[in-house]
Amino acid sequence: MLVKLDEDVRGRDCFVVQSTSEPVNDSLMELLIFIDCLRRASAKRITAVIPYFGYARQDRKDEGRVPITAKLVANLITAAGAHRVLCMDLHAAQIQGFFDIPVDHMAAAPVLSDYFTHNRDRFGPCVVVSPDVGNAKVANMYADILGVDLAIIDKRRKSGSQVSMKSLIGEVEGCSVLMFDDMISTAGTVCEAARVVMEHGATSVHVACTHALMVGSAIERLASGPIGSVVVTDTIPIGERLAGLGGKLVTLTVAPLLGEAVHRIHHDQSISALFRNGVGVKR
């Protein structure tokens, strides 16, 4: 992989925009090489803008003899020469602490909540449902923003791709159910949660996420499941990957949000106001 700059960047404030998504390792290496290229070209400041931070789920040792790859990736980005990182909806907020350089952690909450607010009449009475207890803080944040009630599903994970829903805490009967998460991977959790709430009298289910990973049989599950719409952002390139969702797919852009953050960083202004609504990111 060869990276060459066609313009002089000496003394410039540079921003490298790269999601470390599929192919993850190629995307990561391209990011690292580009940062190194800018550093050797005497850029004044290098900010890595990473809408989707790959390896974020490997943030702790959950069994013996496994790596903490999120920390390794943070070390690599720092060692390559980045002075600052701008990212969106990390799977675990504590990943910010893996870096020894400043990290601006954005949230897609303003984009996702605006969509549901502007389409409120179409959805009718709504309730936000957390598909598991660990996501309750995020769900509560969206429920507060939208001014609706909250319900929680007790989830027990059998394996990485299989989940078992135990019980529903709250009322969903006669309501459109809205479910929010930082990412949809195999879609096992949201599809099983959708089945549970429909059995409890929900009129429709709409799921939203920041990062549309959609691995394995996720597309088939969402397309055939009791889900009315799948709302995602463009932190990961969509292309034709999600074509199987047909009319269920709604794609929102986070470009203006990230663009405003880049503008504020460049002019040494505070960007905290842009992610003040993101206090509910998963811990």
Residue positions annotated with a catalytic role:
155
- Closest CA relative to residue 51, chosen from 212, 181, 240: 212
Lookup: tokens for 71:
């920390």
Residues in CB range of 202: below 8 A, 6 or more apart: 127, 172, 173, 174, 175, 176, 177
Q: How many CA atoms lie within 13 A of 17 on its CB side?
A: 11
* 5 residue type, one letter: L
Length of the chain (residues): 283
- Which residue in 183, 188, 204 sits closest to 248, CA to CA? 204
Q: Which residues of 169-202 are buried (b: 16+ CB within 10 A; e: fewer)?
A: eeebeebbbbbbbbbbbbbbbbbbbbebbbebeb
Give, to the nearest 10 degrees, the angle between helix 69-80 and helix 24-40.
30
Main-chain phi, psi angles of 17, to 5 degrees? -100, 115
Give me the DSSP letters along 58-120: --S-SSTT---HHHHHHHHHHHHT-SEEEEE--SSGGGGGG-SS-EEEE-SHHHHHHHHHHTH
Other beta carbons less than 10 A from residue 279's beta carbon: 12
